[in-house]
A and B are shown apart, each in its own frame.
Chain A
Amino acid sequence: MFLEIVTPEKKVFEGEVNVATFPGSDGSFQILNDHAPLISALQSGNIVYKSNAGEQAIGIKGGIVEVLNNRIIVLAEGLAEAS
């Protein structure tokens, strides 16, 4: 599935991933391939995604995620240090 992370200032990440974990406002959740359509608010935290190149984490300051047809779009308000 395709993951895209954008902030108002730049596009942070774009690429194929296998697994992604998000800091949802109701708690952390994970998304795998063929997930049902979902829109969720995000709180500050880390987005962790696994691609063929390995696992990586990006810290964000809240935002929104939309999952639709194996496309994940994250609208992050800002970036933070991954912790």
Chain B
Amino acid sequence: MANLKEVKNRIGSIKSTQQITKAMKMVAAAKLRRAQDSIVQMRPYAQKLGDILQNLTSGAQEEGQSDFSQIRKEENVLLIAISSDKGLCGAFNNNVFKKIKVLLEGKYQQQYQAGNVTVLPIGKKALEFFGKRNFKINTDYGYLLSGLSYEKVDEAGSFIMESFLKGNFDKVEIVYNEFKNVATQFLRVDQFLPILPKERKQEHTNDAGIDYIYQPSKEEIVTSMIPKSLKIQLYSAILESNAAENGARMTAMDKATDNAGELLKELKLTYNRTRQAAITKEILEIVGGAEALGG
């Protein structure tokens, strides 16, 4: 039979753990709401940017001629791994790492063996994971997520685009978790560069051909807008991942709270049983003693 005191201590510690997981779940829920808000806030911008770009390029072939859609031989590959800053969110980060490993052993095996795959971790967890292992990494943007803002993403985006134009990388892919709902995250691998030609929505082409006045010139506007839309793509991936992270943490903490509850129930049973046994034993002893005296 377990020691009464020991069981009591364990119950106490599990109770406080349960309180912590409960609080963490609530915090994650609040953060999730904020993360979703920022996705909603970003949407009008992204949508309008897309609309204007569409208006600009409808009827013209300019889209295909951008420097960013240049398809080259895939010699140098950059993988952007978006993880979280904090742990305790289930398999969230591990999924990203595993996917990258799969990519390295499959799709990019040749480039990997030649040492031409660079990983750009975003988030502390990815930074730690890839930093410990033998990967070629770029650590410049590992702490992007603390105090996340568009400005920081803008900087990272500019860097990636510049290195693509310089030819340091021939292909850039983003690996991240997409937020589906609180309990589910989808792991996605999106090609960032070169830009994949988009399927044009046919109904959207304006036959009237709005006669815009362009300042400074149409070409310049298009070239200035493409990097913008790329940055938005990166930003939205990071926001998605952020929402997914908090969703994952919420589910993980909810499960942890449940598990703690179950453990508590079992321990309480043991505790009561032990206590009862101790009492019975004591009574028996008293009765035995009284009998010995009276006899």
Contact B215 A6 (CB under 8 A): no
Interface check A7, CB cutoff 8 A: yes
Give the complex CA separation of A6 and B38 in angstroms: 13
Contact A8 B45 (CB under 8 A): yes
> Chain A contacts of B42 at CB under 8 A?
8-9
Contact A7 B211 (CB under 8 A): no
Give the complex CA separation of A7 and B150 in angstroms: 9
Closest to B215 in A: A40
Contact B48 A6 (CB under 8 A): yes
Give B211 Cβ to nearest chain A Cβ, in Å. 6
Interface check A25, CB cutoff 8 A: yes
Interface check B6, CB cutoff 8 A: no
| Contact-residue size bin, chain B (C-beta under 8 Å from the other chain) | 20 to 34
Contact A8 B150 (CB under 8 A): yes
| Contact-residue size bin, chain A (C-beta under 8 Å from the other chain) | 20 to 34
> Chain B contacts of A68 at CB under 8 A?
210, 212
Closest to B239 in A: A8
**Chain A, interface SS category:** strand
> Chain B contacts of A11 at CB under 8 A?
41, 44
Contact B215 A26 (CB under 8 A): yes
Closest to A36 in B: B213
Give A74 Cβ to nearest chain B Cβ, in Å. 9
Interface check B149, CB cutoff 8 A: yes
Contact A9 B149 (CB under 8 A): yes
Interface check A38, CB cutoff 8 A: yes
> Chain A contacts of B279 at CB under 8 A?
none
* 0/1 interface trace, chain A 36-63, chain B, CB 8 Å (1 if under): 1111110000000000000000000000
> Chain B contacts of A75 at CB under 8 A?
45, 48-49, 52, 228
- Which of B211, B212, B235 contacts A8, CB < 8 Å? B235
* 0/1 interface trace, chain B 132-156, chain A, CB 8 Å (1 if under): 0000000000000000011100100
- Which of B44, B46, B221 contacts A41, CB < 8 Å? B221
Most chain B beta carbons < 10 A, residue from A6, A8, A25, A40: A8
Give the complex CA separation of A39 and B213 in angstroms: 6
Give the complex CA separation of A66 and B45 in angstroms: 13
Interface check B220, CB cutoff 8 A: yes
> Chain A contacts of B150 at CB under 8 A?
7-9, 77-78
Interface check B26, CB cutoff 8 A: no
Give A37 Cβ to nearest chain B Cβ, in Å. 5
- Which of A66, A73, A77 contacts B228, CB < 8 Å? A77
> Chain A contacts of B225 at CB under 8 A?
64
Contact A41 B212 (CB under 8 A): no
* 0/1 interface trace, chain B 196-219, chain A, CB 8 Å (1 if under): 000000000000001111111000
Interface check B56, CB cutoff 8 A: yes
- Which of A10, A38, A64 contacts B213, CB < 8 Å? A38
Give the complex CA separation of A56 and B53 in angstroms: 29
Contact B216 A37 (CB under 8 A): no
Interface check B224, CB cutoff 8 A: yes
Contact B44 A39 (CB under 8 A): no
Give the complex CA separation of A26 and B221 in angstroms: 12
Contact A24 B221 (CB under 8 A): no
Interface check B232, CB cutoff 8 A: yes
Contact B220 A41 (CB under 8 A): yes
Top 5 A-B pairs, shortest CB-CB distance: A40-B215, A8-B150, A38-B213, A37-B212, A6-B45
11 pairs, A vs B, C-beta closer than 8 Å: A7-B45, A37-B210, A37-B213, A38-B213, A39-B56, A40-B215, A40-B221, A41-B215, A75-B45, A77-B150, A77-B228
